Amino acid sequence: MKTASACLLLGATLVYGASIPRRDVLPVLGPDTVPGFKVLPKPLHSSLFDKEGKLQAVLSNPAGVALPVSSVPSIQVEPPKEFKDGIAKRKKIRYGPFRLPGTKETNWQSKAMGMGGMADEYLPNLTKPCTECMLASINADIEYANGTKTGSSAWLHHSVLVVAGPNVRDPICNASNTESIFSSGNERSTVRYSYQDDKIKAAYRLGPQDTITLVGEFKNELDTEQWIWLTVSYEYYDGPRPDWKNTHIAWLGFGKSSCNPNAPNPFGVSNVTATGVPKSLQFEEATMPWKSPVDATVLGVGGHLHDGGTEIDIYQNTKKVCEVIPTYGAGAGGMSHGDGEHIKSMTSCRLLTPLKAGDTFHLVAKYDLVKHPGGKTDSGELDEVMGVGTILFMTEPKVF
């Protein structure tokens, strides 16, 4: 049976980061280090890197085909929507264009995942919103050449942003100079890194040497090709702001621990297969715990489920600190490939609670595929599912 593995590998990307060895110089995204690299079939590997081993953009766009042109500006300065304090700035940046194959077209994704219409893109060194700044929020969407949103004709299956830089610390294992700072599926939630009150100012620190890599996957719903642009809207505070706290994000997900792949899951045998396919229609699945390497303040927690999910419980040590609840609605949207009701949105929890070095976090994702039928591959098999938790925490500026 062929199963969709893209989301699963996306999960691996988030939870494990790109395992780039720590080095004092600017990290290079090389053959062993591309996030989600394993999802690509071998014949594509050689096209990923130049002679020096540097990651090249990998696009689904066929060679030799003229790209559609757009008169919509690729950088749009907008009034802030999240942080309206008169100081934050907002830029919407369009990345692309990307060609989405028609759903009946054969490509490596349709063979590997059993799903037509998929396009996968790796784009290193994206245009940044600023040279050096504190990122306050990020939101992603997809639109056509004319700037109109694609609606249900094309789906934002996922988009992940990975920051790499000499001062970047992977907060999951403290083992690389990369950090996955953002992920969005079709629910297109805004991630907010900033917190401000009289005493605390915090946001995600983006340094002048830091680069951003996009790992994106988009899905066509039509049987004709379409060209789309990914838009990423950044809100940010310009400048280095050395006294601000640093916001980081730790990802929880199904599967092995990246820091210690041989460690058994303390919650027992997994209720999903190695590729994330449910073993039964109703189950709960707990993730490997993540242990915080530092003292910090938890800003908030959130989560991501596929259709069929009913709840995510997030625990700090043994205490449940949040119940993340999905809302279902009819029509296209959310993360699924079937018909009927889809997840439209997910709740999250603002916590502002202390976190001690050594504290652990894990989540328990609950699925009921009888109540909410999940996604299916083109051949009607159960699609893989995810249970992703995000822990946003603030550290002192120099901690990492």
**Shortest distance, position 395 Cβ to ligand NAG, whole Å:** 9
**Shortest distance, position 294 Cβ to ligand NAG, whole Å:** 5
Residue number with CB closer to ligand NAG (21 or 331): 21
Residues 109-138 that bind ligand NAG (CB under 6 A): 125
**Shortest distance, position 186 Cβ to ligand NAG, whole Å:** 18
Residue number with CB closer to ligand NAG (239 or 266): 266
Give the interface size with ligand NAG as a residue count (CB under 6 A).
Answer: 20
CA-to-CA separations, 133 to 125, 239, 296, 300, 325, in angstroms, rounded:
16, 5, 21, 22, 33
* The one segment of 41-49, 103-111, 279-287, 320-328 that binds ligand NAG by CB under 6 A: 279-287
Residue number with CB closer to ligand NAG (146 or 318): 146
CA-to-CA separations, 141 to 129, 157, 351, in angstroms, rounded:
16, 10, 27
Query: What dihedral angle (degrees, nearest 10) is formed by the CA atoms of 189, 191, 196, 197?
Result: 50
Residue number with CB closer to ligand NAG (165 or 216): 165
d(Cα 280, Cα 369) in Å, to the nearest integer? 9
Per-position x/- string for 220-259, each x denoting binding to ligand NAG as judged by CB under 6 A, each - no binding:
----------------------------------------
Where would I find the H helices in 71-211? 108-113
* The one segment of 77-85, 187-195, 263-271, 320-328 that binds ligand NAG by CB under 6 A: 263-271
Residue with tokens 């730790």: 250
**Shortest distance, position 41 Cβ to ligand NAG, whole Å:** 26
Which of 83, 98, 144, 193: binder of ligand NAG (CB under 6 A)? 144
Ranges assigned E (strand) in 187-295: 191-192, 195-196, 201-206, 211-220, 226-238, 245-252, 282-286, 290-291
Which of 46, 146, 262, 318: binder of ligand NAG (CB under 6 A)? 146
Per-position x/- string for 13-52, each x denoting binding to ligand NAG as judged by CB under 6 A, each - no binding:
---------x------------------------------
CA-to-CA separations, 24 to 27, 132, 166, 281, in angstroms, rounded:
8, 19, 6, 48
**Shortest distance, position 211 Cβ to ligand NAG, whole Å:** 5
Query: What dihedral angle (degrees, nearest 10) is formed by the CA atoms of 258, 262, 267, 268?
Result: 140
Q: Is residue 294 near ligand NAG by the rule CB under 6 A?
A: yes
Rounded to 5 degrees, φ, ψ at 298 are -80, 120
Name the DSSP letter for residue 376.
B
d(Cα 196, Cα 80) in Å, to the nearest integer? 16
Enumerate binding residues for ligand NAG (CB under 6 A).
22, 125, 144, 146, 148, 174, 211, 265, 267-271, 283-286, 293-294, 400
